[in-house]
Every structure is written in structure tokens, then in C-alpha cells.
Structure 1
Amino acid sequence: MVEKDTICKYFCFIESGILQHAINILEEEKTTYLALKNSCTSALKSFLQETPSRKNIKALSDCNLQVILVKDFKYLLENNTAFHRFYYTLIEKQIFLIDDYRIDLLTLSAEERYTKLLTNEAELLQEVPLHYLASFLGISNRHMSRIRKNIK
């Protein structure tokens, strides 16, 4: 969908599949977000400001996406009240998720973050390969295996 240092051209609604947002740190891919079916995603800053993206977004599985170009997106945002409300609600939810995620990284242990994921977003564990989940949780693959073994 977008590669680092390129401009994101699409705002997507994911009908099926999974999109991974990632950055590379010291040549290691780090997952920053996982977008699942029935959700929307984009490299939003790049998309809206038409500037190079600082991250990559790629499909982790076969995806069916509904996409909208920036000019159409901005037109809808300015001229369609329902779309404007939808977008406002979407952004509000994303801000809450980002805030919770950042606080969790600082206050919860890796085991607690995994348990929270297991409780609140079990579908991720079914649909996303474990090494991407480990990266998303900020832990190594080995640590993820130990946590899963201890929780079973």
C-alpha cells in the first residue's frame, strides 16, 4: 500500500485481510499497528499532507480494499456531513487506542500486554502471524513463545 519515503495515495476500508504498519529500526522491522477487516487505515500524515511516509504499510494476507484518493477524501470531508462525522469518530477512536497503547507499553509487563491482547482482541491471535504480534507488543519472538507457553 505504501513504502517508506513514498507518498501514501489511499485511504482504505479493509473488507477482508490484514494490513501491517511497520518501521525499520537498525534493519529490523517493527510493527506499529495492525489493521483488520472492517476497519480503515492509511499513512494518514503522508496521505493528507502529500508528503513522504515514515512507515511501510503492507498486506499480511490477501486483502479486499475499498480505496479513496486524497482529492476525493478531502471533498467528502468538506461536503458530506455523514462522512465528516464518520471520520471524526474514527480519528477519536484511533487517538484513544494510541493513548492506551503508549500507556500500556510503559506500565504493563509483556505478559500483561499479551493477556490484554488475548482478552480484548483475540481475533489478532487467530489471524496474525506471531512474529508480527511479538513486534507489535514490543517483545522478541523468543519472549513471545515463553509467554504463550506460560499462559496455556
Structure 2
Amino acid sequence: MDALKFLLEELENQWEEEITIKRGDFLVRKHTINTNLYLVLEGSLRVFIEDEDQDHTIRFGYKNSIITALDCFLTNKPSLFYIQSLKKCKLKVISKQKYMSLIKADVKCQNTWNMMLESFVYQQIEREIDLITFSPQKRFQRVFKRSPQVFQEIPHKYIASYLRMAPETLSRILKNLD
């Protein structure tokens, strides 16, 4: 059984509430503290940072994925990230306190959580390598191979941001696939 599936089964009756947010609403804003963990039931979200002139998409969340402002979740300090809905979203919510008490109460849950964190770190390493060493075409191919669902769930302008390319470049790459 994969780690996420196991963890979701363990959390089945532990979620504290279900919320709905409209397209464009923020789940988390930069400089705020939000240590909740969310399960996406419907819709899609993006995690991003901003500099003076543009946003930089870091990650996506869509159906059956867990999303949080991980920097804030781990440190209890204000987040450097925004999490914004790209489509209307339904989310289940659990507080960090409740989640961590559940994780700490069961060795199998602790091991699963550690596996998920390790997987996340590895994904970030892969992404960093992609951005530093590969051409836009190759970055597209690698992300498409790893996460084809992204291309069904997420608007192309945010995928372009994630891939660190202009939307026009992504359009050309997609056009050449046909």
C-alpha cells in the first residue's frame, strides 16, 4: 500500500472540518501562520512565492493530494508562501496539533509520515536539478512523465510558471506534441 493511501485511511475519521473556497481565494498568505494540513477533495491549488515583478509557482495540489504551507507547518513561523485556489475547492482540514498527536501515537504512522517527507525532499531535489540543468523542452517532458495529471488539472500559465518558462514557450512545446 502506498504511503499516502495508508495515511488517508488512518485519517479517515480524524478530519476536523470540511471547507469550500472559491476560485482565486487564498488558503494561506505570505507572512501568516497556518499550520493546518488539508486534503483536496475537489478543485486545484497552487503554492507560490512572489518577487517584485512576478509569481513563481512551486507546487500544485489537486484531488486526493495533501497540501500545507510546509515551511510554516514545520517551524510554526510565518510562511513565505501563498496557497491560492485555481478552481473552487473542497478541502478537509486537520490541525497540526491533532495530526501530530495521531502520527506520534502509532509507529507505522510515524514511519509513513517520514517516508512522505523523504519523498517530498526527493521531489524537490529532482525539481531543482530540472530547473538548473535542463532545457524547457526537457523540463516539460520530465514533469509530464512524473505528473501527467497536472496537465489536466492546472491552467497552462501556472504550469509555465512552475516550469520557469514563458507561457508562449509552453504553448509551442504543447503545439509540437500534436
TM-score (norm 2): 0.79
More helix by share: 1
* 2:37 counterpart of 1:11: yes
Q: Partner of 1:63 in structure 2?
A: 89
| Aligned counterpart for 1:101 among listed residues 127, 135, 138 | 127
Identical amino acids, percent of aligned pairs: 28
Secondary structure of the residue aligned to 1:12 is strand
Q: Partner of 2:156 in structure 1?
A: 130
Unaligned runs of 5+ in 2: 1-26
| Aligned counterpart for 2:48 among listed residues 22, 28, 38 | 22
Aligned positions, number: 152
Unaligned runs of 5+ in 1: none
Greater CA deviation, 21-30 or 113-122? 113-122
| Aligned counterpart for 2:67 among listed residues 41, 48, 54 | 41
RMSD: 1.5
Secondary structure of the residue aligned to 1:100 is helix
User: 2:34 and 2:91 mapped to 1: Cα distance?
Assistant: 15
Q: Which amino acid in 2 is paired with 1:68?
A: I
TM-score (norm 1): 0.91
8 Å Cα contact 2:38-2:93 kept in structure 1: yes
User: 1:81 and 1:131 mapped to 2: Cα distance?
Assistant: 42
Q: Which amino acid in 2 is paired with 1:143?
A: T
8 Å Cα contact 2:45-2:60 kept in structure 1: yes
Greater CA deviation, 141-150 or 105-114? 141-150
| Aligned counterpart for 2:143 among listed residues 97, 104, 117 | 117
Q: Which amino acid in 2 is paired with 1:86?
A: T
- Superposed displacement of residue 30, structure 1: 1.2
User: 1:40 and 1:86 mapped to 2: Cα distance?
Assistant: 14
User: 2:72 and 2:52 mapped to 1: Cα distance?
Assistant: 23
- Superposed displacement of residue 43, structure 1: 0.9
User: 1:63 and 1:90 mapped to 2: Cα distance?
Assistant: 23
- Superposed displacement of residue 69, structure 1: 0.7
User: 2:93 and 2:107 mapped to 1: Cα distance?
Assistant: 19
